[in-house]
Amino acid sequence: MSSSSPSPLPPLAPPPQSPMALPGFTWGVATASFQIEGATHADGRLASIWDTFCDTPGKVLNGDTGANACDHFNRWEADVDMIAALGVDAYRLSLAWPRVMDEKGRPNQKGIDFYKHLLDRLEAKGLQRFVTLYHWDLPQHLEDRGGWLNRDTAYRFAEYADLMSRELQGRVTSYASLNEPWCSAFLGYGNGHHAPGRSSVRYARQAMHHLLLGHGLALQALKANDPGAQRGIVANFGRGTPETSSPADVRAAQLFELQHNDWVLGPLLKGAYPADLDSLWPGSAPLVLEGDMATIAQPLDFLGANYYFRTQLKSDGGHGYIETDVPNVERTQMGWEVYPQGLEDLLRDFKSRYPNLPPVFITENGMASDDQVEAGQVHDAQRISFLNRHFAAVARAIEAGVDVRGYFVWSLMDNFEWAFGYERRFGLVHVDYQTQQRTLKDSALAFQAFLAARKQG
């Protein structure tokens, strides 16, 4: 090979003996409405809490906003062609609640039609449609009335789910009610890192309860209106490991996972919040009305699992924990440790502790890196390595008996990374935010090659 010849791409694929390599396993890419659509004032779209948060000085890195994002609202046809060309089985997207309803809860037909056209084109390309109803963009007018601290928001969410499942009936393969309720509750209402920027553990626990209540009510509407579609929820999960083997540090790691994982899974799969939350956060219990927990614990067709990194913990000397640094480890652009074993550990743990664990889809997994276009190419070898190691971790979990049905890489393309703006790039596809030029990174090309080979084989 001459020195001027391009180096061959490293392969991106699960272990060849894994069920993940067979046709029945679902491979996809994922995005979220606020992160890619832009057009925040088009066709009657209302303001969301993230529009307000972006406009608040100091909340988002570099003062970035979602006003333009990836301009997907205007480029969706070409973007769908790009998704189809990758060869994936499915596309996970979210609907923008502020785009489809007005302040009085009446349908905004122009916004609804945008999603109908998008879903129809995805179907025409042979792609399964995994639709998330809520990926954090709460209409601002609802936040003005208390947001997720107001029980009424759960009922407004159910009305939104009812409307969209009637409008989109037959167009959707799978519905997820919420994306990452832990982030909405804790980052939005507990520490203020995300919109709407409130900071109280008591707020976080009440917001979580209303989010999960809204989920349960929404599932009832989805089942009634579009019974042919799958129904579930997407949650982010955190792996905690103790700094030492001392009982206090082991307990600290357990409390971390209880707060990150069982706070959500307990109500969904056991119909109860973990009792230890009250010792971790005394005096912060939410108001729970009779029948709420039964509504939340609706049967799930699937659980979407999002995983990115682990956290090391030590005891705070009392009833809590302190996060500690792990030195000399590989990290991503976000500063997150690359720890694939955590994904396997979590999946195996959930199966052992929740006998009614539904089938699982890995709905987000990926990494941010400071990717640059050089001579029309983007060399992101770390991302290929990252994904291969996480594919292998899921393959081991499947071998151990966990029912994992699919894997969605986060993300299809670089986009608005919430409080980090446009600096952090998670995409398989590079986006030049000035020109909106899309460039497939090496990871996208390697993923495309694997998917093509799988279909041929």
Catalytic residues, by residue number, are: 364
Residue 257 class from Cβ within 10 Å (0-12 exposed, 13-18 middle, 19+ buried)? buried
Contact by Cβ (8 Å): 445, 387: no
The first and second tokens of residue 339, run together, are: 């720890």
C-alpha triplet 328, 334, 339: angle, nearest 5° = 50
| Cα distance between residue 433 and residue 337, in whole Å | 27
If residue 451 lies in a helix (H) or strand (E), which one and from where to where? helix 442-456
If residue 314 lies in a helix (H) or strand (E), which one and from where to where? strand 310-315
CB neighbour list of residue 313: distance below 8 Å, 6 or more residues apart? 240, 241, 242, 243, 249, 252, 253, 255, 256, 321, 322, 323, 324
The first and second tokens of residue 349, run together, are: 């743990």
**63 conformational bin, left if phi > 0, alpha if psi -120 to 50, beta if neither:** left
Contact by Cβ (8 Å): 164, 105: no
| Cα distance between residue 193 and residue 182, in whole Å | 13
Contact by Cβ (8 Å): 325, 310: no
The radius of gyration computed from the CA coordinates of the chain, to the nearest angstrom, equals 21
Alpha helices in 297-380 (DSSP H): 341-353
305, 309, 314, 317 alpha-carbon torsion, rounded to 10°: -50
If residue 302 lies in a helix (H) or strand (E), which one and from where to where? strand 302-306
Closest to 332 measured CA to CA, from 434, 439, 423, 429: 423
First to last CA, the chain: 28
| Cα distance between residue 151 and residue 292, in whole Å | 11
Residue 123 class from Cβ within 10 Å (0-12 exposed, 13-18 middle, 19+ buried)? middle
